[in-house]
Amino acid sequence: MVYVFLADGFEEVEALTPIDLLRRASVTVQTVGVTGKTVTGSHGVPMIADLLPEAVDLKQADMIVLPGGMPGTKNLYASDVVRAAVTEMIETDRYVAAICAAPSIILGSMGVLQGKRATCYPGMEDGMTGAQAQPLPCVQDGKIITGRGAGAAFDFALTLCAVLVGQEKADQIADAVCYVR
């Protein structure tokens, strides 16, 4: 099970690309509307979340995904549920994936990137406290996966697929959507 946390102002591409590709990989994905059942992206696209935060069962989670976007990332960080989910996933050695501003504003602010290689939106590296910033589309360091921004959403999503269902299946999905590497 993968939970994708959404808050008003989320970056649509960074949320929907992982949702779509993970579902193509037959991974169960549930979206969580942190700011309500209907969540509006940073470019005005409304989305109806599958769940509200009180319905999340982290015991079932293999991964959580935190998209970027403004003010979506700040709205996610303001959520006690999101911060508790990050903490629980880290403490139980399960996957935490964050892209764009989320590695800096959420993971960096929580101190979970200490000594880890990570990437984020260019210019936000200082917020990744203790991380070794990498100017790459996607970086995996143990169970933490970070992505650079909307343009890296396919690399990010395919990495999530690879860790959950294997590289062969991720490659099949990349081919099926005509992703050019």
Label residues 115-140 b or e (16+ Cβ within 10 Å = b). ebbbbbbeebbebbeebebbeebbbb
- Which residue in this structure is represented by tokens 């993971």? 107
**Which candidate in 100, 120, 138, 161 is catalytic?**
100
Spatial CB neighbours of 5, under 8 Å, sequence gap ≥ 6 = 32, 34, 64, 65, 66, 67, 76, 79, 81, 82, 85
Is there a catalytic annotation at residue 100? yes
Paired sense of beta strands 29-33 and 2-6, if any: parallel
Active site residues: 100
